[in-house]
Structure 1
């Protein structure tokens, strides 16, 4: 792939991923890692994802008044995400890219299938103190191994009975912490190169442009219809990665 082709791919990928995030409030790392993982190793895709994911998720976290209360409530889960992600990133470094891509594909299918079925789950406050660290550890391992940080953190946060704005901020908190931990893990294992930092910085522009376009699209079409099409796209992408992974 030539440098020009790579730039075009990055621009189109992060523009599209930004649109998804602008419409649904999430999905930028999932889409970007999934698409890039079809043409490069998940390790490289995860490294390029770091800066645009961090910028968009910090913005999502800071919008609203509940961030400090959510941090106090979820700090144990966040700490477990950090520790297990940093350790789990070792898998991205040492595992054959073919198997990393297959793991990424399975993670995308699992998330899309869960979201399409939309089972109603509710976690009691009594279970939260012991369940949060378990979910944090599991989420960190999946993040470290695939570069995707939605399973099982997103379904768990959705089951806590948070108000809409609280949930958006809680997702922003989880994604921000996961992004920082992923970057730390990549640095710890010597897998974050200077050229990848440059590409990651460039990806911020189309990501933000996509989020702006997504906010416009959200006013024009049904979010439910868009969400269903997005999830079906993830299933197809996950199947492609699982059956015909990057090599």
Structure 2
């Protein structure tokens, strides 16, 4: 249903909030804070944490709608933290990944109600878990340099899964980690990639109907706890060196992969 007047929109939003108990709202705020904290530490995993946490108390559609605005705001902050020129340079450097990922994200978002999500989260969860696990066990897989073909392939996977499930971080981090991207650059590049992806996700789900006048206020109230959590995470991230940053990133990536497997197997 589309709201044509402000009063109608306000009524719809209040109806949605009245359906929550105070405990559910507090849990939603806690999930947003945790997602922001982890993002501040390693630069990714906010959609994964938000979708996983919110889906325990809300419908999957509302969980996806809820992550959209906090993801846009926190990724925008992360992308432009070092200034506009640095962000533009990151866009130029990863333009193939971004352009291909955008196309596939828009395609994936249109299939949310058609294709079983389990199929796609399993396809991405298996290699992500395998990659993170063997890296943590000491086998270091690296790419000496990227190529347009590799970048386009990973961008298409990240975009399609992101459009379908709202989670596009693991394939992106897998790629950046294999390139052994420096910590500061990795944080900035992730911010740029995820910012553009989050805006594309917003546009896609305006079209799919998941993000609308009823669900937007819920997404908006999750921005503040997510930003507070991100600030806390950034204070910790600035104190760890490159080697430890890589280990923490791989640990979060492993958890992300295992969570994708759980969603694919158990739903």
Shorter-chain TM-score range: 0.7 to 0.9
Instruction: Indicate the SS of the match to 1:177.
Output: helix
User: 1:216–1:62: structure 2 CA closer, same or farther, 3 Å change rule?
Assistant: closer
Q: Contact 1:48–1:196 at 8 Å: present in 2 too? A: yes
The residue that corresponds to 1:114 in the other structure is 131
The residue that corresponds to 2:91 in the other structure is 71
Q: How does 1:204-215 map to 2 (within 5 A)?
A: 204-215=223-234
Task: Select which of 161, 176, 181 maps to 2:200.
Answer: 181
Q: How does 1:33-182 map to 2 (within 5 A)?
A: 33-64=51-82, 66-95=86-115, 99-100=116-117, 103-104=120-121, 107=124, 110-118=127-135, 120-125=140-145, 127-182=146-201
TM-score normalised by structure 2 residue count: 0.76
1:144-166 deviation digits (Å, cap 9, x = unpaired): 12110124222112233433211
Whether 2:38 is the aligned partner of 1:16: answer no
TM-score normalised by structure 1 residue count: 0.82
Instruction: Indicate the SS of the match to 1:152.
Output: helix
User: 1:6–1:101: structure 2 CA closer, same or farther, 3 Å change rule?
Assistant: farther
Whole-Å Cα distance in 1 between the matches of residues 239 and 153 of structure 2? 40
Residues 233-242 or 190-199, more deviating: 233-242
User: 1:135–1:107: structure 2 CA closer, same or farther, 3 Å change rule?
Assistant: closer
Whole-Å Cα distance in 2 between the matches of residues 15 and 109 of structure 1? 28
Q: Contact 1:66–1:166 at 8 Å: present in 2 too? A: no
The residue that corresponds to 1:5 in the other structure is 23
User: 1:217–1:105: structure 2 CA closer, same or farther, 3 Å change rule?
Assistant: farther
Whole-Å Cα distance in 1 between the matches of residues 102 and 248 of structure 2? 32
Q: Contact 2:108–2:162 at 8 Å: present in 1 too? A: yes
Residues 230-239 or 175-184, more deviating: 230-239
Instruction: Indicate the SS of the match to 2:94.
Output: helix
User: 1:236–1:112: structure 2 CA closer, same or farther, 3 Å change rule?
Assistant: closer
RMSD: 3.0
Q: Contact 1:105–1:237 at 8 Å: present in 2 too? A: no
Q: Contact 2:31–2:53 at 8 Å: present in 1 too? A: yes
Gap runs ≥5 in structure 2:
1-18
Q: Contact 1:52–1:200 at 8 Å: present in 2 too? A: yes
